[in-house]
């Protein structure tokens, strides 16, 4: 599916956000956010793979996000899930 050139890049990015990132962030509520740079790098690596951009091309993150027509969402999603989990724990 990722190697298929017949699927539009925007559709592949949506599939990435729907299929891969939820599996990668399973039980992220208990993670420490100290590794936020690694989380950002993982998101950019996934987008680069979907868009077929080699790491040797030396593209900036802003260029990749512009080409994918998206914004960074992974770290903010993890923070939101952590706050939701914290509220759940406090209410108990």
As a whole number of angstroms, the distance between CA 25 and CA 33 comes to: 12
Q: What residue segments make up the domains of the chain, in order of their start?
A: 9-91
pLDDT attached to residue 27: 84
Answer whether 51's CB lies under 8 Å from 67's CB. Answer: yes
Kindly report, residue by residue over 72-91, the tens digit of the pLDDT.
888 888 888 888 998 988 99
Chain segment 38-77, per-residue pLDDT in tens:
888 899 999 999 888 888 888 898 999 998 888 988 888 8
pLDDT of residue 3: 75
Q: Could you give the CA distance from residue 88 to residue 67 in angstroms, rounded to a whole number?
A: 38
Asked if the model's pLDDT at residue 34 lies above 80, the reply is no
Q: Which of 41, 64, 42 is nearest to 51 (CA)?
A: 64
pLDDT at residue number 63: 93
């Amino acid at each position: 599916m990722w190697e298929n050139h017949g699927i539009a890049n925007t559709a592949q990015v949506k599939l990435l956000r729907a299929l891969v990132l939820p599996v990668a962030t399973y039980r992220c509520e208990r993670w420490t956010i100290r590794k936020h740079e690694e989380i950002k790098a993982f998101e950019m690596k996934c987008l680069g793979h979907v868009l077929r951009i080699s790491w040797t091309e030396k593209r900036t993150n802003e260029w990749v996000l512009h080409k994918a027509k998206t914004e960074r969402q992974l770290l903010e999603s993890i923070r939101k899930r952590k706050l939701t989990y914290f509220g759940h724990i406090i209410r108990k």
